[in-house]
Amino acid sequence: MSGPSIVVTRRWPQAVEDQLRARFRCVSLNESDVPLGEAGLHAALREADVVLPTVSDRLPAELFEGGVRTVFLGNFGVGHNHIDVEAASRAGVVVTNTPGVLTDATADTAMTLLLMAARRAGEGEREVRAGGWTGWRPTHMLGTHVTGRTLGVIGMGRIGCAVARRARFGFGMPILYFDTQDVGPDRHGIPDARRLDTVEEVLESADFVSLHMPGSADNAHLVDAARLSRMKPTAILVNTARGDVVDTDALVKALASGTIAGAGLDVYENEPDVPEALRALPNVVLLPHLGSATVETRVAMGMLVLENLEAFLDGREPPCRVC
């Protein structure tokens, strides 16, 4: 045996695939980049010592039932709600993720969505591309002012803090936030950021709300019709966290009826399906899960997976162990 057998479920940046090939002899790369699907993942867990999945792979408890050969799952990504980590752990599988290296890229994407939704950039771009622009006029496509408006952050982890800092120091936005943990200025770096006691209080007071809680059963539809109705009718919701933290049907209704003014979304409940009702709305900016999509970040994510894997294989504690 020449080292562990490794299955990589999707194409990775070339630099990382080169490292994998250089360091390990038995690596199966996915050159076609077609997702393995349930059957392919089921087989990989039974045939390979190491599986390196990502957010587009679903690994529910059933896939671990009856025992697996895999002993290490190195997720390419920080969010791991697509993996039943308890079932993995019961099956003796160590799971790792890639926190930290994608914080700035994802925070930048949240700001992109916030600005695009506020300034109607998607609508404007569609108008120009369609040849529909008739020229400058004082009342053309007026948006919402961003500078100095209040940002509400739900989930003040690494990415939430990074968004808050961009908004506070780049755009002079007062910061309100909700988090179950007491996150102080030593972590978020914003002396005048205010922690509120409930999600509702943040929703009621903010002009922009950016979601940064982890995807989990507890957070599913955390932003539902009742909570959307607590937001200002002029407010804009940004979601770069996970699709299922927002009730999509309720969001469509809120955007269509004017309960809120707009939204910017990078993530969806059933990716890559984006409901037609959402795509038809002019006041929502829709990105295809680009949060961490910079060359530098995706290479860093891949290298961090390798670091975790090598620690595991050397018998050391992987730096980003989830379970």
- Is residue 122 a contact residue for ligand DGY (CB under 6 A)? no
Give 237's strand partners. Answer: 209, 263
Which residue of the set 242, 276, 279, 310 is catalytic?
242
Q: Which stretch binds ligand DGY (CB under 6 A): 56-64, 73-81, 221-229, 314-322?
A: 73-81
Within 214-253, which residues bind ligand DGY (CB under 6 A)?
none
Q: How many residues bind ligand DGY (CB under 6 A)?
A: 7
Active site residue 188: no
Please count the other Cβ atoms lying within 10 Å of the Cβ belonging to residue 134.
Answer: 7
Shortest separation between residue 257's beta carbon and ligand DGY, angstroms: 29
Shortest separation between residue 30's beta carbon and ligand DGY, angstroms: 17
Shortest separation between residue 216's beta carbon and ligand DGY, angstroms: 12
Which residue of the set 289, 310, 316, 317 is catalytic?
289
Residue reference for tokens 């599986």: 51
Active site residue 242: yes
Report CA torsion sign: 89, 40, 3, 73.
Answer: negative
Q: Which stretch binds ligand DGY (CB under 6 A): 74-82, 87-95, 154-162, 196-204?
A: 74-82
- Is residue 157 a contact residue for ligand DGY (CB under 6 A)? no
Q: Which residues contact 133 (CB under 8 A, 6 or more apart)?
A: 127
> Residue 317 and residue 72: Cα distance in Å, rounded?
12
The first and second tokens of residue 238, run together, are: 């940004």
Is the CB of residue 285 less than 8 Å from the CB of residue 265? yes
Q: Give which of 26, 80, 41, 8 is closest to 322, Cα–Cα.
A: 80
Q: Which DSSP string corresponds to 180-197?
A: SS---HHHH--TT-EE-S
> Residue 161 and residue 153: Cα distance in Å, rounded?
8
- Is residue 77 a contact residue for ligand DGY (CB under 6 A)? yes
Q: Which is nearer to ligand DGY, 155 or 291 (CB)?
A: 291
Q: Which is nearer to ligand DGY, 30 or 229 (CB)?
A: 30
Q: Which is nearer to ligand DGY, 105 or 190 (CB)?
A: 105
Determine which residue in the list 9, 96, 248, 292 makes contact with ligand DGY, applying CB under 6 A: 292
Q: Which is nearer to ligand DGY, 78 or 236 (CB)?
A: 78
Q: Which stretch binds ligand DGY (CB under 6 A): 10-18, 71-79, 138-146, 276-284?
A: 71-79
Active site residue 310: no
Determine which residue in the list 41, 52, 55, 175 makes contact with ligand DGY, applying CB under 6 A: 55
Q: Give which of 55, 82, 100, 57 is closest to 289, Cα–Cα.
A: 55
180: amino acid identity, one letter? T
Q: Which residues contact 65 (CB under 8 A, 6 or more apart)?
A: 87
Within 79-108, which residues bind ligand DGY (CB under 6 A)?
79, 102
> Residue 73 and residue 257: Cα distance in Å, rounded?
44
> Residue 217 and residue 105: Cα distance in Å, rounded?
26
Residues found near ligand DGY in the complex (CB under 6 A): 55, 77-79, 102, 291-292
Residues noted as catalytic: 242, 271, 289
